[in-house]
Amino acid sequence: MSPLEIVILLPLLAALAIWLGAPARATSVGAAVVNLVITLGLVFSFKAASAGKAGFAFESARIVLDNPAITFGVGADGVALILTLLTALVTFAAVWQIGDDKPAIYHIASLLIAAGALGAFLSTDVFFLYAFHELALIPTFLMIGLYGHGEPEHRKAVAWKTTIYLGAGSLILLAGLVWLVLEFSGGGKLTFDLQALRAQAALTPLPIEKQAQIFFVLLLGFGTLVSLFPLHSWAAPAYATAPTPVAMLHSGVLKKFGLYGLLRIALPLLPQGAQVAWVQEALLFMLLGNILVMGLVTINQKRLDDVLANSSVMHMGYIFLGLAAGTEIALRGAVLLMFAHGISIALLFALAGRMRNQLGTLEFSKLGGLGEHAPAFTVLFAFGAFASIGLPGLANFAGELMVFVGSFMNYGSTSFGPLQWAVIVSLWGVVMSAVYMLRAYRSLFHGSAMSGLFMRDPALSQRLPLILLAAVLLIVGCCPWLLLNLIKSDLAAVVAP
């Protein structure tokens, strides 16, 4: 049994145990800690395990169906491992910070979402990659609909909107994947195995126009799940309404699935499709929508949860930019940025959740001077906020820089094409991030305290996961090669010749 299978199954088993009556907090935190330890072990042993291998490490495959060939196959390369580490870290923080007064379903839902994300990142079979992602659909729906913030009518509406967007997105995605599988199987046996599909793609690439069409369908499907403009309108209300652990896991981890899918399936199998002019221009248009439109929308928000939710949608634009460029540096930067954004947004949502619990409101106009009584809290928030802006020394900076540089150099071309223009325009997004984050920081923590609304620092045991996330931001920010060294040749193979 591969250790990766344990990593995927452990949260599922823990969720089942809690449902059968095991103590919720102890079980879920225990499972999260064990998973984190296993994942760290995998990260450290990855170099040895993958030595001399072209494909995945720690792989195993169990045949589920013969034709169409579907296997429950798991395996990790550098990209998958980085995202697994992200999932393990955020899951640990998310279940740790669930209060004792919350019902067990908080833990069950968090574990199911985590298991879905882990399964999707570690599967080497397109079928299971898709299937695991759907595991999170019902928990997300129920948690937003039942335990979300705001009026019952409002949260139900948000839950439906989220579910319908995600459901429709997955169906479009499924159509694209089925199309892909049928095209690549030639006249022979249908296969969903990623390695077999890759081999087929290298052997007999599809005609360019067909590649472009399939790529576009996949872009719409995956894009809906990542809240790509203009398919994004579900995301901000969902994150602002969702209970804290769900918001952390969904925006921090699960949303990366769509990007991961593009990187794992669409780009390697349809390398030329992504470079066809109309596809690339459409993608650039959409990602600039994310950065510029959502940036302006975020600046205009009046509550902290709305700012965080909208900023999370906005930051997806940079990662898409890295994918659109397709150079190795940009792709590595995109992966790093996925990790960094996941950690920073999870930290911010965890802090916002604490503030909401203590203060009962997150409106800027009602809050101020919180830093006076809660210095540790303020420092933690500063880590998250500054990372999110892209301050050098914190993880996001390295990722954004690599994306910008890598995109600007696009295939070493000397011409100044649409991609270069997009880089220039999207740099302004960084300014917008600074505007809304610094403004939020100032109006919440500085100035004079409002009457009766002040915060205390969290107890030491409650600080632990938050400090962990902040420390990761700092460590990866100062030494990004720790993660980047895990990505060996995986992304070089993705880059179009």
DSSP single-letter state for residue 448: P
Residue numbers 13-42 binding another protein by CB under 8 A: 19
The verdict on 369 binding another protein (CB under 8 A) reads no
Does 383 help bind another protein (rule: CB under 8 A)?
no
Shorter beta-carbon distance to another protein: residue 175 or 435: 175
Nearest to 334 by CA among 261, 398, 266, 399: 399
Instruction: Indicate which single residue of 22, 175, 196, 496 sits in contact with another protein (rule: CB under 8 A).
Output: 175
* Contacts of residue 11, Cβ cutoff 8 Å, sequence gap at least 6: 31, 32, 35, 91, 111, 112, 114, 115, 118
DSSP codes of every residue in 30-48: HHHHHHHHHHHHHHHHHHH
**CA angle at residue 386 from 382 to 392, to 5 degrees?**
130
- C-beta of 171 vs 492, nearer to another protein: 171
Strands 57-65 and 70-76: antiparallel
C-alpha 303/C-alpha 297 separation (Å) is: 12
Given 6, 13, 64, 464, the residue binding another protein (CB under 8 A): 64
Q: Which of 26, 40, 54, 138 binds another protein (CB under 8 A)?
A: 138
- Ramachandran region, residue 398 (left: φ > 0; alpha: ψ -120 to 50; beta: rest): alpha
Tell me if residue 303 falls in helix, strand or coil. Answer: strand
User: 490: which residues sit within 8 A by CB, 6+ positions away?
Assistant: 77, 78, 79
Interface with another protein in residues 397-436 (CB under 8 A): none
Shortest distance (Å) from residue 125 CB to another protein:
12
Out of 1, 48, 52, 66, point to the residue binding another protein (CB under 8 A): 66
Q: How far is the CB of 77 from another protein (least distance, A)?
A: 23
For residues 132 and 377, which CB has a smaller minimum distance to another protein in the complex?
132
- Residue found under tokens 């209970």: 243
Nearer to another protein, 145 or 261 (CB): 145
Taking the CA atoms of 203, 175, 229 and 394 in sequence, report the sign of the dihedral they define.
negative
Point out which span in 165-173, 193-201, 365-373, 383-391 binds another protein (CB under 8 A).
165-173
- A 10 A CB-CB count for 431 gives 10
What's the min distance (Å) between Cβ of 67 and another protein?
4
Q: How far apart are CA 224 and CA 320, in angstroms?
A: 13
Q: Select 190 or 382, whichever has its Cβ closest to another protein.
A: 190
Please tell me whether residue 174 binds another protein under the rule CB under 8 A: yes
- 27's tokens: 């079980």
Closest alpha carbon to 455 in 384, 374, 376: 374
Nearer to another protein, 190 or 434 (CB): 190
Contact call for residue 137 and another protein (CB under 8 A): yes
- Name the residue nearer to another protein (CB basis): 138 or 277: 138
- Residue 417 · residue 494 · CB < 8 Å: no
**Of these, 131, 376, 382, 495, which contacts another protein (CB under 8 A)?**
131
Site string for another protein, 104-123 (x = CB under 8 A): -x------------------
Q: Is residue 150 involved in binding another protein (CB under 8 A)?
A: no
Give the list of residues 6+ apart from residue 83 with CB closer than 8 angstroms, or none. 117, 121, 253, 256, 260, 335, 338, 339
Of 153-161, 253-261, 283-291, 388-396, the window that binds another protein (rule: CB under 8 A) is: 153-161
Taken in order 257, 259, 261, 264, the sign of the CA dihedral is: negative
Minimum distance from residue 68 beta carbon to another protein (Å):
7
CB of 145 to another protein, least distance (A): 5
Which residues inside 177-236 make contact with another protein, applying CB under 8 A? 178-179, 181-182, 185, 190
Give least dist CB 352 to another protein, A.
25
Of the pair 270, 307, the CB lying nearest another protein is at 270
Asked whether the beta carbons of 193 and 71 are under 8 A apart, the reply is yes
As measured in angstroms, the least distance from the Cβ of 295 to another protein is 32
C-beta separation of 214 from 180 below 8 A: yes
Binding interface with another protein (CB under 8 A): 19, 63-68, 72, 105, 127, 130-132, 134-135, 137-138, 141-142, 145-146, 156, 159-160, 163-164, 167-168, 171, 174-175, 178-179, 181-182, 185, 190
